Structure 1
Amino acid sequence: MCLSASTIESLKTICGKFDNDPKELINILHAVQELVGYLPKEVQEIVAEQLRIPLSKVYGVVTFYSFFTMAPKGKYPISVCLGTACYVRGAEKVLDEFKNLLKIKVGETTADGLFSLDCLRCVGACGFSPVVLVDKKVYVRMTPEKVRDVLNDFYSL
């Protein structure tokens, strides 16, 4: 990835808003990921340089926390909850239907860049399980039969 001069300046500005404090690494990474969409090596290098910490520390945080990603996400990221309540109520079958219809695996993005597919452990809505998040929209009591309708909210299959 080749970062533009304006993106590099924006990354430095974000770090500066947190006083280039290494203790603010997670907050900085959230803000940076919001700006760029993901955290490729080039972005991590700039953050490490600005905070005066080893790249390995930045990389360690990025790879430890599941909400950070080093790969670009689709325009509409899909997250299927696989927490206990969701799993028991059929979330795995819902996930399989997303994989089938989108023709991608977990962690991948569709060729058109519209959708990416991931799993998460709990969204705190166990009473409405299974739960799926698409972009910032929450879908509750999901079934495999509802997956096509969810995707149709964003484009027609």
Structure 2
Amino acid sequence: MAVCEKHTGLYKQLDEYIESVKDKKGMLINVLHRAQELFGWLPQEVQDHIAKKLNIPVSTVYGVVTFYNFFSTKPKGKHQIKVCLGTACYVKGADRVMERFLNELGVEESEVTQNGLFSVHGVRCLGACSMAPVVLIGEKDFYGKVTPDMVPEILKKYNKEGE
């Protein structure tokens, strides 16, 4: 497997982590988490590398990656925008909020913007029905009672990083 020069350092960090945990029970999920932290997602090449290093079948790695929804086999933006499409949010216009994010960014759902900053994902529930519709950007930037007209202002905060 040819390793992209850009990713050589990431593979080195992953290999060091694998060495530190490879004899521990249940290490595959921890290794996959670490790989996703490093690479941002789990492309097939990374899954193949993990299987080889852990001396397990690629099908085992793939099975775990596709079973758990927190692992991604597609690239995601630096800022992952999660729009709640659960019942309470949907009834209050979450579909229009989602559409506005996609239009403003010029992408389809789950696609990454060309600058790598954003990806937009519909999710089933963010647990804040009283604030519907809600949006979560990253792991902690939470927005409630979002309207389509608020989207450009929300994006402006994160777009500054791409300048």
Q: TM-score, normalised by structure 2?
A: 0.82
2:86 corresponds to 1:73: no
Q: Any idea what SS the aligned residue of 1:142 has? A: coil
Percent of aligned pairs with the same amino acid:
46
For structure 1, the 5+ residue unaligned runs are none
> Residue in 1 aligned with 2:4?
2
Q: 1:143 to 1:23 in 2, by over 3 A?
A: same
Name the amino acid aligned to 2:124.
Answer: R
Partner of 1:100: 103
- Tell me the equivalent position of 2:45: 42
The match for 2:152 among 144, 148, 154 is 148
Q: 1:45 to 1:124 in 2, by over 3 A?
A: same
Residue type of the alignment partner of 2:96? K
Contact kept, 8 Å, 1:20 with 1:51, in 2: the verdict is: no
CA shift for structure 1 position 147: 1.0
Q: How many residues align?
A: 156
Gaps of 5+ in 2: none
Give the C-alpha shift of residue 2 in structure 1: 2.2
With normalisation by structure 1, the TM-score equals 0.85
Deviations 1:21-44 (A, max 9, x none): 462322321221111111111111
Q: In the aligned structure 1, how far is the partner of 2:97 from the partner of 2:129?
A: 16
Query: Shift of the alpha carbon at 1:20?
Result: 4.7
1:12 counterpart = 2:15: yes
- Residues 112 and 118 (structure 1), Cα distance of their counterparts in 2 relative to 1, 3 Å cut: same
C-alpha separation in 1, matches of 2:126 and 2:19: 32
Establish whether residue 90 from structure 1 lines up as the match of residue 93 from structure 2: yes
Distance in 2 (CA, whole Å) between partners of 1:17 and 1:41 is 23
- Which deviates more from structure 2 when the two are superposed, residues 71-80 or residues 39-48? 71-80
Q: 1:152 to 1:26 in 2, by over 3 A?
A: same
